C-alpha cells in the first residue's frame, strides 16, 4: 500500500489537487483585493476554478516527474537516453517510464478504464430511456447542483467526450506498443515526449469527470454556444479537459510521424511498411494539425465566458456558426483519427488469419492517406441545418460522398483477401470480422446522412446516433479488442482465455447490432437525439426497452473482457512463440518482448503480407534469430 | 554539421535578407496607407514569410541527409529533432490560421482603431530581433560562443521590447480608445475579443520564446554548445523566427487591412 501511494500516478493526483487549490486561491485573492465577490455557487468563482484547473494540470506534470529530464536539459544537465527501469511488476505501470511498451500498456489500460466509465454513464441514461416519462432522473431530484433531466444531459454529454478521449488513448496505446516493433526501432523517436503525452491525459480525464461535479453541462459533447456560454461552471472543466487531452493527442501524433520517418529498419521502404504503420501515419497527420482547432474553438468560448469577448455572441456582432466551423474542422476529421488505426488493424490481421496475401497492398496503403486528406474537406456536412450559407451545402455533400471511395477500396481489399482464404477463427479474427461487418453498416448509413435533402430530416435524430455507433464500434472498438487479443501474448507471454473471449464476442456482437439498428429505427420514427424523454404516442417504448437490455448485455460482455484481461496477465496459458504464425518481425522473437526490443537488427527483404507464398520472406535478422532460446 | 558558407558571407546574407524584409515591410505600410490593395498585401506577406522560412529558419535543412546513419549519433538525432520541431510549428500554425479565419469571418473589411506608428514600431523591433537571432545562430554554427551570447542578448532585449510594446503600451492605448476585451457591437463586430485574442496568443508565444532564449543563453555561458553540437540554439532560433513569421501575417491583418468605422 505504501508503494502505491508513492507512485507517480498518486503523486501526480495529489499535486493536481494542490495546484487546483493554489490556482483557485490565487484568483480569489486577486478578486478580493479588487473588491469582487470571492465565492460562488461552487465555492470558488468561475475564473478561480478555470485557473485552478489549469494549474492542476501543470502541478500534476511537475509533481509526478514526467518533465524532470526536460528541466535538467534546460539547466544544461545531460541525461542518459534511457534510464534504468527502477520498478518491476505493476509498479512499472504506475510510474513514469520511457519505454514505449510500458507507455503503450499505460495508455491501453487507461483507455479501458475510461471505456468502462463512459459505458457506465451510458447505462445510467439508457436505463432512464427504457420507458417514456421520467423514471428516476426526476425533476425534483438534486445531485451536484443539477436536477434529473439536467443530470441526464451531463451524463449524455460526458458519455460522448469520455468515450472520445478513451478512443484517443486506446489508439495511442496500440500505436505506441506496436509501431516501433513493426519498424524495428528501439523506441519512439522522443521517449520523454511520449511519456509526457501519456501523463498529460491523466489530469485531462480528471478534469472531465470534475465537470460532472461542478454543475455539469447540458451541451452535448459538441459544446455549441450560445448554450455552452450559459452552462454552469462544469462546462469550463469540460473545455479544459478536452484542451489538455488534445495536447496528448497532438504530441503523441507528432512522435508517431517522426518515428515512422526516421526510425525504420534497413530495407523498409515506404511500400514495404505494414498497413498499420500507414494507418498510424494517416491518423497522426490529422491529429497533429486539426486538433488545434477544437482546442481553439473551446478556448474562444472559455474566453467569451471569462472576459465577455463576443466571438459567438450575436449581440456583440459575433457569429455562433463560426464556432461550428472551427469545431467541426477538427471534429469531423477526428472520426477518421478514431477509425483509421482500427481499419489498419483489420488489414493487418486479416491476412494472418486468412493465410493469404493482402489484396492490393498499395491501394490500401494509399486509401488511409486518401481518407485522411479528403477528411479535411468535409466538415460542414454536420452543419446543413445550422443556417450557414446555402451554397456551401452541395460542395460539402460531394466531398463527403467522396470519402466512400477510399473506404470502398479498403472493403474491396478485405473481401478479396478473405476470398478463398484458409480462414481460422480464433478470437482476434472474430473481432476483425465483427469490426468489418459493423463498419460496413456504419459506412452504408453514411451517404444518406451526407445527402443534403435526406440529412435535413435525419439531422439530430437517433438515426445519426445509430450510424456513428456503427462506425465507431466497427472502426475502433471491435478492432481494438481484436488487437488486444492478438498482441496480448506479445506483451505478457500469455494468452487471454479463448473461451471467454468467444463469449465476449458472441454476447457483444448480436447485442450491438440490435442496439444500432434499433437506434436507427426509432430515429426514423422520430426519436430525437440528446433528450431525456419521448412521447409514448410515438409507439417505440418497447424498442427502447430492448435497446436498454442489449445495452446492458454489451456492458456485461465488456466486463467479461476486463476480467479476462486482468486474470490472464498472471494466469493465462503460456504463449511465448509465434502464436498466430505471423510474418511480422515482432513475432519472430520471444514473448514478452525484451526491454530493448530486438537484440539483432533486422532487414526487410520482401513484401509484408505474402502469406502462403512459398519461399517468401519479410524480414531477415542480422544473425539467425535465436527464437525461444534467449528468454529467461 | 557541415556548413557550406564561411562565417562572413553567412552574416552578410543575413544582412541582405534583413534589408529585403525591411523594404518589403515599408512597402506594405505604404500600400496600406495609400490604397487598399489586399491582394498585394497578401503577396508581400507571403514573400516575407518565404524569405524568413528559407534564409532564417533554414527549412531546407529538413531535406539534409546526415552522414551518420547511426540513430544514436548527434547528427542523426538533430535531424530527428528538426523534423519534430517543424511538425510542432505546423501544428501551431493551425492555431494562428484558426485565429486568422476568426478575424476574417468576424471583422471582414474593418479593422480595430490602433496606433499605426506603434504598430510599425513593434513590427520593426520584432524584425530586428529576428535579424540578431540569425547573427547569433550563425556565430554559434561557426563556433563563436561569445558572438552568440552578445547577439542573443540583443535579441532578448528587442523581444522584450516587443512584448512590452504590445501588452503594456498597445493594449493600454487600445483600452483607452474604448477597445476593451468585451467591446463589440453589430456594426463593428466583436472587435475587442478578436484584437486581444490574436495579440494575446502571439504575445504568449513571444513570452515562451523569450524563456527559450534565456535557457540557451544560460547554457551557452556554460560552454555546452559547439559548432557541431548546438541543436538547442538552432531550435530556439527557429522558434523565434516562427514567432516573427506569425507576426508577418498578423500585423497586416490587424493594422493594415480593412477600413476604420467610426
Nearest chain A residue to B236, by CA = A74
The kind and range of the H/E element at A176 are helix A148-183
**Confidence bin at A627 (pLDDT 50/70/90):** low
Segment A414-454, tens digit of pLDDT: 999 999 999 999 999 999 999 999 999 999 999 999 999 99
List phi, psi (to 5°) of A39: -125, 165
Nearest chain A residue to B86, by CA = A254
Give the closest of A73, A75, A322 to B105, CB-based: A322
Segment A166-207, tens digit of pLDDT: 999 999 999 999 999 999 999 999 999 999 999 999 999 999
Inform me whether the C-beta atom of residue A326 falls under 8 Å from chain B C-beta atoms. Answer: yes
Residues of B in CB contact (< 8 Å) with A are: 71-72, 76, 79-80, 83-84, 87-88, 90-92, 94-95, 98-99, 101-102, 105-106, 181-194, 196-197, 215, 218-219, 222, 224, 232
| Separation of alpha carbons A361 and A371, rounded Å | 16
Give the closest of B88, B185, B218 to A317, CB-based: B185
Give the list of residues 6+ apart from residue A360 with CB closer than 8 angstroms, or none. A409, A412, A413, A416
The kind and range of the H/E element at A299 are helix A275-307
Measured between beta carbons, which residues in chain B are less than 8 angstroms from residue A257? 83, 87
What average pLDDT does chain A have?
93
Give the closest of B84, B91, B187 to A190, CB-based: B84
Check residue A38 and give its pLDDT.
86
Q: Are A401 and A450 in contact, with CB atoms under 8 Å apart?
A: yes
Measured between beta carbons, which residues in chain A are less than 8 angstroms from residue B184? 309-310, 313, 316-318
Least confident range from A239-243, A331-335, A425-429, B71-75: namely B71-75
Q: Does the beta-carbon distance from A258 to B87 stay under 8 Å?
A: yes
Q: Does the beta-carbon distance from B91 to A292 stay under 8 Å?
A: yes
Nearest chain B residue to A260, by CA = B80
Longest dimension (CA), chain A: 82
Smallest CA–CA separation between A598 and chain B, in Å? Answer: 15
In this structure, the dihedral spanned by the alpha carbons of residues A442, A447, A450 and A454, taken in order and rounded to 10 degrees, is -110
3-class DSSP state of B6: coil
Longest dimension (CA), chain B: 64
Quote the CATH superfamily of domain B7-256. Answer: Cytochrome c oxidase, subunit III, four-helix bundle (1.20.120.80)
Give the closest of A254, A263, A311 to B87, CB-based: A254
Q: Domain residue spans in chain A? A: 1-78+89-96, 100-266
Measured between beta carbons, which residues in chain A are less than 8 angstroms from residue B83? 257-258, 261-262
Cell numbers for A520: 436507427
Segment A488-521, tens digit of pLDDT: 999 999 999 999 999 999 999 999 999 999 999 9
Does the structure show a pLDDT above 50 at A632?
Answer: no
Inform me whether the C-beta atom of residue A265 falls under 8 Å from chain B C-beta atoms. Answer: no
Give the list of residues 6+ apart from residue A278 with CB closer than 8 angstroms, or none. A344, A364, A365, A368, A369
Q: Are A277 and B68 in contact, with CB atoms under 8 Å apart?
A: no
Q: Does the beta-carbon distance from A292 to B92 stay under 8 Å?
A: yes
A590: region left, alpha or beta (phi > 0 left; psi from -120 to 50 alpha) = beta
Q: Does the beta-carbon distance from B190 to A316 stay under 8 Å?
A: yes
Question: What average pLDDT does this structure show over A561-574?
Answer: 95
Residue B111: name the closest of B198, B195, B201 by CA. B195
In this structure, the dihedral spanned by the alpha carbons of residues B177, B179, B182 and B184, taken in order and rounded to 10 degrees, is 110
Segment B112-153, tens digit of pLDDT: 999 999 999 999 999 999 999 999 999 999 999 999 999 999
Question: What average pLDDT does this structure show over B200-212?
Answer: 97
**Confidence bin at B261 (pLDDT 50/70/90):** confident
**Confidence bin at A37 (pLDDT 50/70/90):** confident
Q: Could you please state the CATH topology (level 3) that the domain comprising A100-266 is classified under.
A: Cytochrome C Oxidase; Chain A (1.20.210)
Inform me whether the C-beta atom of residue A334 falls under 8 Å from chain B C-beta atoms. Answer: no
Smallest CA–CA separation between A226 and chain B, in Å? Answer: 15
Residue A575's alpha-carbon distances to A497, A561, A578, B171, B186, in angstroms, are 12, 19, 8, 66, 69
**Confidence bin at A624 (pLDDT 50/70/90):** low
Residue A240's alpha-carbon distances to A164, A211, A243, B96, in angstroms, are 15, 10, 5, 19
Does the structure show a pLDDT above 60 at A459?
Answer: yes
Does the structure show a pLDDT above 50 at A564?
Answer: yes
Cell numbers for B195: 484584437
Chain A to chain B, count of Cβ pairs less than 8 Å apart?
Answer: 126
| Separation of alpha carbons A279 and A343, rounded Å | 8
Smallest CA–CA separation between B18 and chain A, in Å? Answer: 30
Cell numbers for A95: 510510474
Smallest CA–CA separation between A306 and chain B, in Å? Answer: 10
Nearest chain A residue to B193, by CA = A309
Q: Domain residue spans in chain B? A: 7-256
| Separation of alpha carbons A505 and A428, rounded Å | 10
**Confidence bin at A89 (pLDDT 50/70/90):** confident
Residue B252's alpha-carbon distances to A63, A83, B46, B239, in angstroms, are 42, 49, 12, 21
| Separation of alpha carbons A218 and A39, rounded Å | 23
| Separation of alpha carbons A353 and A418, rounded Å | 9
Does the structure show a pLDDT above 80 at B1?
Answer: no
Question: What average pLDDT does this structure show over A13-27?
Answer: 96
Mutate to test the interface with B, among A249, A310, A324, A598 (most CBs of B within 10 A): A310
Mutate to test the interface with A, among B66, B74, B84 (most CBs of A within 10 A): B84
Residue that wins the pLDDT comparison between A194 and B36? A194
Does the structure show a pLDDT above 70 at A629?
Answer: no
Question: How many Cα neighbours within 13 Å face the side chain of A359?
Answer: 15
Smallest CA–CA separation between A578 and chain B, in Å? Answer: 28
List phi, psi (to 5°) of A607: -80, 145
| Cβ count near A459 (within 10 Å) | 17
Mutate to test the interface with A, among B72, B78, B80, B87 (most CBs of A within 10 A): B87
Nearest chain A residue to B214, by CA = A74
Inform me whether the C-beta atom of residue A255 falls under 8 Å from chain B C-beta atoms. Answer: yes
Check residue A626 and give its pLDDT.
52
**Confidence bin at A576 (pLDDT 50/70/90):** confident
Check residue A132 and give its pLDDT.
93
Give the closest of A190, A296, A310 to B95, CB-based: A296
Residue that wins the pLDDT comparison between A458 and B70? A458
Does the structure show a pLDDT above 90 at A97?
Answer: yes
In this structure, the dihedral spanned by the alpha carbons of residues B122, B123, B128 and B134, taken in order and rounded to 10 degrees, is 130
Question: What average pLDDT does this structure show over A81-85?
Answer: 80
Segment A514-537, tens digit of pLDDT: 999 999 999 999 999 999 999 999
Smallest CA–CA separation between B12 and chain A, in Å? Answer: 31
Segment A602-620, tens digit of pLDDT: 999 999 999 988 888 999 9
Measured between beta carbons, which residues in chain B are less than 8 angstroms from residue A304? 193
Q: Does the beta-carbon distance from B91 to A288 stay under 8 Å?
A: yes
Does the structure show a pLDDT above 70 at B237?
Answer: yes
Inform me whether the C-beta atom of residue A261 falls under 8 Å from chain B C-beta atoms. Answer: yes
The kind and range of the H/E element at B214 are helix B191-221
Q: Does the beta-carbon distance from B184 to A317 stay under 8 Å?
A: yes
Smallest CA–CA separation between A252 and chain B, in Å? Answer: 11
Q: Does the beta-carbon distance from A189 to B84 stay under 8 Å?
A: yes
Question: What average pLDDT does this structure show over A116-126?
Answer: 96
Smallest CA–CA separation between A257 and chain B, in Å? Answer: 8
Inform me whether the C-beta atom of residue A309 falls under 8 Å from chain B C-beta atoms. Answer: yes
| Separation of alpha carbons A306 and A335, rounded Å | 30
Give the closest of A254, A257, A311 to B106, CB-based: A311
Smallest CA–CA separation between B230 and chain A, in Å? Answer: 12
Mutate to test the interface with A, among B63, B102, B261 (most CBs of A within 10 A): B102
Inform me whether the C-beta atom of residue A35 falls under 8 Å from chain B C-beta atoms. Answer: no
Amino acid at each position: 500500500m505504501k508503494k502505491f501511494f508513492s507512485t507517480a500516478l498518486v503523486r501526480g493526483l495529489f499535486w493536481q489537487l494542490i495546484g487546483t487549490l493554489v490556482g483557485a486561491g490565487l484568483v480569489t485573492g486577486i478578486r478580493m483585493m479588487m473588491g469582487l465577490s470571492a465565492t460562488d455557487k461552487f465555492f470558488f468563482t468561475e475564473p478561480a476554478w478555470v485557473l485552478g484547473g489549469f494549474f492542476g494540470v501543470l502541478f500534476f506534470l511537475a509533481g509526478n516527474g514526467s518533465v524532470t529530464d526536460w528541466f535538467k536539459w534546460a539547466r544544461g544537465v545531460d541525461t542518459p537516453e534511457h534510464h534504468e527501469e527502477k520498478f518491476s511488476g505493476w509498479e512499472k505501470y504506475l510510474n513514469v517510464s520511457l519505454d514505449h511498451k510500458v507507455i503503450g500498456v499505460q495508455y491501453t489500460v487507461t483507455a479501458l478504464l475510461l471505456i468502462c466509465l463512459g459505458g457506465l454513464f451510458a447505462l445510467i441514461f439508457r436505463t432512464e430511456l427504457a420507458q417514456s416519462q421520467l423514471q428516476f432522473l426526476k425533476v425534483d431530484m438534486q445531485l451536484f447542483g443539477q436536477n434529473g433531466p439536467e443530470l441526464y444531459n451531463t451524463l449524455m454529454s460526458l458519455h460522448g467526450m469520455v468515450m472520445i478521449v478513451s478512443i484517443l488513448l486506446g489508439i495511442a496505446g496500440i500505436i505506441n506498443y506496436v509501431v516501433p516493433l513493426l519498424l524495428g526501432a528501439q523506441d519512439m523517436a522522443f521517449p520523454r515526449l511520449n511519456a509526457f503525452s501519456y501523463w498529460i491525459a491523466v489530469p485531462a480525464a480528471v478534469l472531465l469527470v470534475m465537470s460532472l461535479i461542478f454543475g455539469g453541462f447540458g451541451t452535448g459533447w459538441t459544446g455549441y454556444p450560445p448554450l455552452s456560454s450559459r452552462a454552469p461552471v462544469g462546462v469550463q472543466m469540460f473545455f479544459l479537459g478536452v484542451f489538455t487531452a488534445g495536447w496528448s493527442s497532438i504530441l503523441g501524433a507528432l512522435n508517431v510521424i517522426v518515428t515512422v520517418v526516421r526510425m525504420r529498419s534497413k530495407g523498409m521502404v515506404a511500400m514495404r511498411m505494414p498497413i498499420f504503420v500507414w494507418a498510424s501515419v494517416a491518423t497522426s497527420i490529422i491529429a497533429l494539425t486539426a486538433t488545434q482547432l477544437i482546442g481553439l474553438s473551446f478556448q474562444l468560448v472559455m474566453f467569451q465566458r471569462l472576459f465577455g469577448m463576443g466571438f459567438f455572441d450575436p449581440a456583440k456582432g459575433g457569429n455562433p456558426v463560426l464556432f461550428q466551423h472551427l469545431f467541426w474542422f477538427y471534429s469531423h476529421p477526428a472520426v477518421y483519427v478514431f477509425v483509421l488505426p482500427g481499419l489498419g488493424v483489420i488489414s493487418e490481421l486479416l491476412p494472418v488469419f486468412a493465410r493469404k496475401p493482402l489484396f492490393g497492398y498499395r491501394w490500401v496503403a494509399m486509401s488511409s492517406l486518401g481518407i485522411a486528406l479528403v477528411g479535411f474537406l468535409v466538415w460542414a456536412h454536420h452543419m446543413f441545418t445550422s443556417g450557414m450559407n446555402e451554397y456551401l451545402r452541395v460542395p460539402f455533400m460531394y466531398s463527403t460522398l467522396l470519402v466512400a471511395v477510399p473506404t470502398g477500396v479498403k472493403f474491396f481489399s478485405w473481401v478479396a483477401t478473405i476470398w478463398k482464404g484458409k480462414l481460422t477463427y480464433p478470437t482476434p479474427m472474430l473481432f476483425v470480422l465483427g469490426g468489418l461487418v459493423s463498419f460496413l453498416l456504419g459506412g452504408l448509413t453514411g451517404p444518406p446522412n451526407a445527402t443534403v435533402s435526406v440529412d435535413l430530416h435525419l439531422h439530430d435524430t437517433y438515426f445519426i446516433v445509430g450510424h456513428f455507433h456503427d462506425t465507431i464500434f466497427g472502426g475502433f472498438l471491435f478492432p481494438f479488442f481484436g488487437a488486444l487479443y492478438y498482441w496480448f501474448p506479445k506483451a505478457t507471454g500469455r494468452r487471454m482465455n479463448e473461451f471467454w473471449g468467444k463469449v465476449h464476442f458472441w454476447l457483444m456482437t448480436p447485442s450491438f447490432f440490435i442496439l444500432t439498428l434499433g437506434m436507427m429505427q426509432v430515429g426514423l420514427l422520430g426519436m430525437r437525439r440528446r433528450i431525456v424523454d419521448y412521447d409514448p404516442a410515438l409507439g417505440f417504448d418497447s424498442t427502447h426497452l430492448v435497446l436498454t437490455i442489449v445495452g446492458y448485455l454489451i456492458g456485461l460482455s465488456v466486463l467479461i473482457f476486463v476480467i479476462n484481461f486482468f486474470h490472464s496477465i498472471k494466469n493465462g496459458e503460456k504463449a511465448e512463440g509465434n502464436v498466430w504464425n505471423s510474418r511480422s518481425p515482432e513475432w519472430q522473437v520471444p514473448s514478452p518482448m525484451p526491454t530493448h526490443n530486438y537484440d539483432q537488427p533486422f532487414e526487410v527483404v520482401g513484401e509484408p503480407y505474402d502469406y502462403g507464398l512459398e519461399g517468401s520472406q519479410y524480414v531477415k535478422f542480422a544473425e539467425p534469430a535465436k527464437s525461444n532460446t534467449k528468454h529467461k | 554539421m557541415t556548413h557550406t558558407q564561411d562565417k562572413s558571407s553567412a552574416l552578410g546574407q543575413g544582412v541582405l535578407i534583413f534589408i529585403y524584409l525591411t523594404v518589403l515591410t515599408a512597402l506594405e505600410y505604404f500600400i496600406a496607407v495609400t490604397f487598399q490593395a489586399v491582394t498585394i498585401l497578401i503577396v508581400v506577406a507571403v514573400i516575407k514569410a518565404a524569405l524568413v522560412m528559407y534564409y532564417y529558419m533554414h527549412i531546407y535543412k529538413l531535406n539534409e541527409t546526415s552522414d551518420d546513419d547511426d540513430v544514436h549519433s548527434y547528427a542523426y538525432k538533430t535531424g530527428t529533432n528538426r523534423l519534430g520541431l517543424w511538425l510542432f510549428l505546423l501544428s501551431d500554425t493551425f492555431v494562428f490560421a484558426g485565429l486568422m479565419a476568426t478575424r476574417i469571418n468576424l471583422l471582414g473589411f474593418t479593422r480595430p482603431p490602433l496606433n499605426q506608428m506603434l504598430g510599425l514600431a513593434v513590427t520593426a523591433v520584432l524584425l530586428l530581433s529576428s535579424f540578431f537571432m540569425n547573427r547569433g545562430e550563425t556565430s554559434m554554427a561557426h563556433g563563436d560562443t561569445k558572438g552568440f551570447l552578445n547577439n542573443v542578448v540583443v535579441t532578448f532585449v528587442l523581444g522584450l521590447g516587443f512584448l512590452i510594446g504590445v501588452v503594456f503600451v498597445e493594449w493600454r492605448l487600445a483600452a483607452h480608445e474604448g477597445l476593451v476585451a468585451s467591446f463589440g457591437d453589430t456594426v463593428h463586430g466583436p472587435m475587442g475579443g478578436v484584437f486581444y485574442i490574436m495579440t494575446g496568443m502571439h504575445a504568449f508565444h513571444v513570452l515562451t520564446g523569450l524563456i527559450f532564449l534565456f535557457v540557451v543563453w544560460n547554457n551557452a555561458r556554460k560552454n555546452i554548445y559547439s559548432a557541431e553540437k548546438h541543436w538547442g540554439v538552432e531550435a530556439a532560433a527557429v522558434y523565434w523566427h516562427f514567432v516573427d513569421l506569425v507576426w508577418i501575417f498578423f500585423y497586416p491583418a490587424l493594422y493594415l487591412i480593412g477600413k476604420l468605422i467610426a
